[in-house]
Amino acid sequence: MTDAIAAEWYKLRTACSTAWILAVVAAFVVLSALSSWYLAHYWDGLSPRRREEFDAPSADQPLSVALPVCAVVLGALTVTSEYATGMIGTSVAVLPRRRLYAAKALVAAGVMLTAAAAGTAVAVLAGRAIVGGRPVPVLGAPLADGVPHLLLTGPVAAAFTLIAFGLGAVLRSTAATITTMVAQMVVLPTLTGLLPSPYGERIWSALPEGLAEQIAAPPGVSAGPGVLSAPVAAAVLLVYVAVALGAGRLSFLRRDA
Amino acid sequence: MRDAIAAEWWKLCSVRSTRWVLAIVAAFVVLLLALAFQEAQIFDGLAPGRREKLALRPLQEMSPWVTGLCMAVTGVLTATSEYRSGTIRSSLVAVPRRSRLPAAKAVVVTAVSLAAGEAATLGTFLGSRLVIGDRPFVDQRAPLPHDLPGFGVEAVSVPVFALLGLALGLLLRSAAAAITAVVLLWHVLPLLVFHLPAPWNERLGSVMLGGLGPRAAGHSVENSIYGGALPPWGAAALMLAYALLPLVVAVSVFARRDA
Amino acid sequence: MIEVRELTKRYGGTAAVDGLSFQVRPGTVTGFLGPNGAGKSTTMRILLGLAAATSGEALVNGGRYAELRRPMLEVGALLDASAVHGGRRAFDHLGWLARSNGIGRRRVAEVLERVGLAGAARRRVGGFSLGMRQRLGIAAALLGDPGVLLFDEPVNGLDPDGVRWIRELMRGLAAEGRTVLVSSHLMSEMELTADRLVIVGRGRLIADTSVRELAERFGRGVLVRSPRPAELTGVLSAAGGSVEDDAGGALTVAGLDVADIGERAAAHGIPLYEVRPRSASLEEAYMELTAGSAEFEAAIS
C-alpha cells in the first residue's frame, strides 16, 4: 500500500493541474489578506456610529468561497484525467485496482486537507496581523474563537474532494463530475430557499454545502438556516463521503477500464 | 462559412454531452414547476397579509441562471472535447481558415444556447403562471404580454455565458480549467464582490455577468447578490462585451497557435 | 503534386525541420522515411496548415493548403487515426467532415463501404479497435475523392491483413494517377509500397531517390551458388564482373546482373543452384543513411 500511495503521490505531484489548483488556493490566500487589509482601512475611515453597524466577513472568506471548487476539481481530476488520457490502463496493469483506488483517494484527500488547512491558517493569521488591535467585528475576534473553524476547514475540504473523487469514478468525465458537483453545491442550496419552512431549512441542512457551514463556520458569521449540531452534521457528511466512495469503488472495480 | 456552420451543428448534435445538458435543463424546468406548485399550495395556506410577501419571481429567475451554467459547459466542451480527443486537427484540416472554425462554433453555440435559454426561461415563466392559476401572487399580477418580453431579454444572458465558456475553452484547452474558470465567474466572483463593504459591493456587483440579464430586462436585483447601478441599456451593452471580447481574444490566439 | 521548398520549423532553439526541399509527383507512391523525430510529422502538419512554418513554404497543387476553399476535395489526409471523439458514431464523424466541405451523405456511405466499415457505421468510435480507427481515418481521407493523399504512419499497430490492405489501397490510388505521400520509419514497409523515397534525418533531406536507385546505390552484388565455383569465377571475371568468395561456397558477384550471370553460366554449361540479388541491403542502406540522425539513439552498452 505504501508503494501505491508513493506512486499516486508522484503522479499527483507531477500533474500540471495539481500545481494550478494549488496556485489558485494560494491566490485566494493572497486575496484574503488583501481583503483584510482593505477592510481594516475601511474600518479606520468609518464614523463611530457606522462602526457599530459594520459587519466584516471572516478573514478567510474569499478563500472559503473558492476552496470547495478547488477541492472538487482536484478530486475529480485525480480519477477522471486517467480515463481521459487512457493512462488508467497502465495504472490498473501495475497495481491491483482495490489498492489503486484507495491510494488515489488517500493522496487526493491528503493534499486537499493540507492545502485547505494551511491556506486557511495563513489567511486567518495574516488577517489577524493586518487588523491588529482594531476591534473590527469578526475580523478582530480573538483567535481562540476561530480554532474549531481552523481545525475543521481542512477535513471538510477533503470530504468534498472525496465526494468528487467517488463521483468522478462513476461518471468518468471531468466536465460531468465538476458540473454535477458545482450544481449540487450552488444550485441545490439556492433551491431550498424556495421551499416552505421548515422543509427548506431541513433539506439545506442535509446538503454537503450546508453541512460544511454547520461543521466549520467561521466564528461570528451569521448562522445559516442550519438545524444540525456540528457532530451530527459531520456524521451526515461522512455518510455522503462513504456513499460516493462506495459507488465510485464499485464502478472502479467492476467496470472495464 | 455555411458549410462550416452546418458541420459544427452536426458535431454538436452527434455527441451525448449535448443531449445530457439539454435533458438536465429540461429536468430543471420541471423541478422548478413542481416548486411553483408547492408555492401555490403555500399561498393558499397563508393569511392575506402575508401573501403580499410571497414572490414567485426568484423561482422564475433560477431558470436562466442555471441554464447559463449548463450552456457555458456546452460552450466549453465544444472547444475542449476537440482538444482532448485530437479532433481539432481533423477540424482544421477540413476547415483550414483559422478564424472560420471558431466563428462557426460561436454561431452554433449561440443558436443552441439562445434556444435553450429562451425555452427554459419562458417555459418556466409561462409554466409557473399556469401552475399558480389565478392566485394573485404579488409579482405576477401584470398580464402575460407585459412580463413576457422581460424574461425574453433575461434569457439572453444564457448565450452570453455559453460564448464565454467557448472562449475560455478555446483559450485554456482543458475542460477542467475552463469549467473552473466559468464557475469562478458565475458563482465565486459575485459572492466575493457581495461581501465587499459598501459602496463597492453595489458597484462591482452591478457588472457581474449573472446580474446583467435581470438588469437588462429592467427587473429589480434588490434581493440578490448583484448590484443595480447600471441602466438596462448599460447592462445590455456590458453583456454584449462579456460575450464578444473574450471570444475575440480567444479567436485571435487560436488563429496564431499551432494545432 | 506536393512541393516543399526550403522548409524550416523551429521550436525554441531546436529545428524540427531544417531547410527541407522535395517534390512529390502524381502517379507514384512516395515514401517519406526517417527515424522517429526526423521531422516527418511536422512537415505533414505544415503541409496541412496545422502548424506554421518558421520559413520556407509547403505547397499543395501549387498553393497553400489554408487557402483552399474546399480542401478535402483536393487533399486527403490521415494523421493520427486515434484522434477521434469516442462518443461519436462512425457515420457522424465522417458526416460532419463531409458537410464541412459540401460533400453529400451518399459519399459518406460510399467510403464507409470502401474501407469495410459499412457494418459499423452506427457504432460509436470509442469502441473501435485500432485497425478500425485506421480504416475510419482512411475513409475520412478519401471522402472528397482528392488527387493528393497524405498518410502519416498508416500501418502503425496494424495486423498483417490490415498492413496488406493499406499497401494495396495506396498502390491503387497512385495507379489512378493520384499523388500519394506516406510517412514511415520502416524501410521494409516502404520497400513493398513505395516507388520513390524521400529520406530525412534530423529535419534535413538525406536522399530523394527511387527505390530502384537506392537498391543499386547500396547494392551488395548478386549472390551465386554453384557446384563449380572456381570455373564460374573464371567465366564471370572474364565477362567483366568482380567475384568474391564468400564463406560456405557462395560467390558474391558485382558488376553483372542476375540475367547476365544466368546467361553466361548457361553458355558454359555451369549449373546454378541459386542466383539472388542482395536486396535485403535496402534496410541496411536506410540504416546507413540515417545513422547518426536518430533523435535518441539507444546507448550502446
Interface test with B, best of C85, C93, C148 (most B CBs within 10 A): C85
- Judging contacts by C-beta atoms under 8 Å, the chain B residues touching residue C72 are 93-94
**Grid coordinates belonging to B194:** 457581495
Nearest to B14 among C50, C89, C140 (CB): C89
Taking CA atoms, B192 is separated from A214, B43, B186, B202, C210, in Å, by 20, 34, 11, 12, 69
Q: Do B96 and C87 make contact, defined as CB atoms within 8 angstroms?
A: no
Minimum Cα–Cα distance from B55: chain A residue: A194
Q: Is C52 on the interface with B (CB under 8 A)?
A: yes
A20 vs C247, more confident: A20
Average pLDDT by stretches of 10, chain C with 301 residues: 92 89 93 87 92 92 90 92 87 93 92 92 90 91 94 85 90 94 86 88 87 74 85 86 79 82 88 77 71 54 37
Please report the domains of chain C, with CATH numbers, ordered by start residue.
2-212 (3.40.50.300), 221-277 (3.30.70)
DSSP notation for C182-206 = EEES-HHHHHHH-SEEEEEETTEEE
Question: Quick one: residue C292, left, alpha or beta (phi over 0 = left, psi -120 to 50 = alpha)?
Answer: left
| pLDDT confidence of residue B163 | 97
Radius of gyration in angstroms for the set of CA atoms belonging to chain C, rounded to a whole number: 23
| pLDDT confidence of residue C219 | 66
Kindly report the number of other CB atoms within 10 A of residue C67's CB atom. Answer: 12
Taking one residue from A and the other from B, the number of pairs with CB-CB distance under 8 angstroms is 83
Establish if A67 belongs to a structural domain: yes
Interface test with B, best of C80, C96, C123 (most B CBs within 10 A): C96
Residue A18, domain extent: 2-183
pLDDT in tens, C273-285: 888 876 555 677 7
Task: Give the whole-angstrom CA distance, residue B97 versus residue B106.
Answer: 15
Establish if A53 belongs to a structural domain: yes
Q: A46-55, A72-81, A90-99, A144-153 — which one is most confidently predicted on average?
A: A72-81
Establish if A224 belongs to a structural domain: no
Q: Is B107 on the interface with C (CB under 8 A)?
A: no
| pLDDT confidence of residue B198 | 78
User: Is residue A228 pLDDT above 50, yes or no?
Assistant: yes
**pLDDT tens, N- to C-terminus, chain B (259 residues):** 889 999 999 999 999 999 999 999 999 999 999 999 988 988 888 888 888 888 888 889 899 999 999 999 999 999 999 998 889 999 999 999 889 999 999 999 999 999 999 999 999 999 999 998 888 888 888 888 888 999 999 999 999 999 999 999 999 999 999 999 999 999 889 988 888 887 888 888 889 998 888 888 888 777 788 888 888 899 999 999 999 999 999 999 999 888 7
- Which residues pair with residue C209 across a beta bridge? C197
Residue A223 pLDDT level (bands cut at 50, 70, 90): low
- The Cα of C123 is separated from the nearest Cα of chain B by a number of Å equal to 12
pTM for the whole thing? 0.86
- Judging contacts by C-beta atoms under 8 Å, the chain A residues touching residue B58 are 193-194
| pLDDT confidence of residue C301 | 37
Radius of gyration in angstroms for the set of CA atoms belonging to chain A, rounded to a whole number: 20
| pLDDT confidence of residue A249 | 93
A214's CB contacts (< 8 A; 6+ apart) are A205, A224, A226, A228, A229, A230, A233
| pLDDT confidence of residue C99 | 92
Q: Do B10 and C52 make contact, defined as CB atoms within 8 angstroms?
A: no
- With 0-12 / 13-18 / 19 or more C-beta atoms within 10 angstroms meaning exposed / middle / buried, residue C104 is exposed
**Grid coordinates belonging to C224:** 551465386
Establish if A222 belongs to a structural domain: no
- Which residues pair with residue B160 across a beta bridge? none
**Grid coordinates belonging to C247:** 564463406
Q: What is the complex's ipTM, to 2 decimals?
A: 0.89
Do residues A61 and A32 lie in contact, with contact meaning Cβ atoms separated by under 8 Å? yes
Q: Do B6 and C100 make contact, defined as CB atoms within 8 angstroms?
A: yes
Task: Give the whole-angstrom CA distance, residue C149 versus residue B95.
Answer: 17
Q: Is B77 on the interface with A (CB under 8 A)?
A: yes
- The Cα of B28 is separated from the nearest Cα of chain A by a number of Å equal to 10
- Judging contacts by C-beta atoms under 8 Å, the chain C residues touching residue B103 are none
Establish if A229 belongs to a structural domain: no
Stretch A207-230: mean pLDDT: 78
| pLDDT confidence of residue C297 | 47
Establish if A249 belongs to a structural domain: no
Establish if A126 belongs to a structural domain: yes
- Phi/psi for C243 (5° steps) reads -115, 135
Establish if A192 belongs to a structural domain: no
- Phi/psi for B86 (5° steps) reads 90, 0
- The Cα of A3 is separated from the nearest Cα of chain B by a number of Å equal to 28
3-class DSSP state for residue B95? coil
| Number of domains within chain A | 1
**Grid coordinates belonging to B226:** 448583484
Q: Is B38 on the interface with C (CB under 8 A)?
A: no
- With 0-12 / 13-18 / 19 or more C-beta atoms within 10 angstroms meaning exposed / middle / buried, residue A31 is middle
| pLDDT confidence of residue A221 | 62
A80-94, A224-238, C133-147, C252-266: range with lowest mean pLDDT:
A80-94
